[in-house]
Amino acid sequence: MRFLAKLPIVLAAAAAALAAQAQDKVLNLYSARHYQTDEAMYDNFTKTTGIKINRVDADDAGIIARLKAEGAASPADVVLLVDAARMASADSQGLFQPIKSAKLDAAIPSNLRADATADGVTWTGFSTRARVVVYDPLRVKAADVATYEQLADPKLKGLLCTRSGSHPYNLSLFATVVERLGDQKGEAWLKGMVDNMARAPKGGDTDQIKAVASGECGVAITNTYYLARLMKSTKAEDRAVVEKIKVVFPNQGTSGTHVNIAGAAVAKHAKNRDNAIVFMEYLASPFAQEYFANGNNEFAAAKGVKIDNPALKAMGGENFKAETIPLGSVARHMTKVQQMLDRVGYK
């Protein structure tokens, strides 16, 4: 009888234990990445760890808005975003929490992560892409676009095309240049680019590449993966675009080519924090790095991991010198750079 009397308590305790165990095997992922190759990466994580991934897909802005709206009730454990400027913006709004991981410290270079504090690091890059210059070889010499600084040279007047200066890809690049040149020279550089515009900034990076091929522009800036997509395309019109342009990895003789990241962070109110850290560490593994980077024609972020991508090799991306200015430090310039863009009329 005593046993029967205690049975409901025993069953309740068992149910609570099972619920806790089930929760221990869950990871809620908010992702701005939408690549089929990521599926294999997630499946392998679940098979290896037993942790099931529940995923919410949206763009960066949508994810940030959702995290803010949900507040402390948010189920998000890990957040994946696709640009250092966006990572820094979300971080500045208190949406991430710092973590400490010896595995991440060993695998990912410090310049591809948020600045470390006594509490740890809030976000980490897991793939990189270079911001390169494409040009029309019939109108422009490679030597005239060998550095980012030369994009402001009057020699290129009426030839330059870019997407919006306020786009995160450009903000990240511009902030690194300002970090190197200083505020006064950095703003003068931005003004010089405005003076060299062939037309007002518009479209995305692929549009800039096509504008060079069509003759509308002579020079443009793009992330490497946009060019890689065109190079790997089976469409005749895309192949024709690639045949008409050439690419330069800028600043190879000086500071190196600017690289940006796609990265991840543990959400501020993560309910499955331990699982989130396990997942972050998994993203730095060679297996995950291959899928994470190749899904968008990017480079690996982890030390010693090489991505075998024919398009990236063909454009000269196998052994280029990359800039090493810490992206976490660069992020602090974003607001200042936007103010500079407003002053010089860079739309």
Same domain, 312 and 333: no
156-213 pLDDT, tens digit per residue, is 999 999 999 999 999 999 999 999 999 999 999 999 999 999 999 999 999 999 999 9
pLDDT tier for residue 22 given thresholds of 50, 70 and 90: very low
Q: Among residues 79, 70, 94, which one has the least CA distance to residue 33? A: 79
For 247, the enclosing helix (H) or strand (E) is strand 246-248
- Distance, in Å, from the CA atom of 175 to the CA atom of 85, rounded to the nearest integer, reads 10
Same domain, 169 and 295: no
pLDDT of residue 7: 40
5-20 pLDDT, tens digit per residue, is 444 444 344 444 334 4
Query: Which pTM was predicted?
Result: 0.90
pLDDT tier for residue 34 given thresholds of 50, 70 and 90: confident
Q: What is the CATH number of the domain that holds 32?
A: 3.40.190.10
The SS3 assignment for 88 reads helix
How many domains are contained in the chain?
2
Same domain, 254 and 136: yes
pLDDT of residue 97: 98
The SS3 assignment for 160 reads strand
The SS3 assignment for 182 reads coil
Full residue range of the structural domain in which residue 163 is found: 129-258+328-344
Same domain, 212 and 334: yes
Same domain, 173 and 265: no
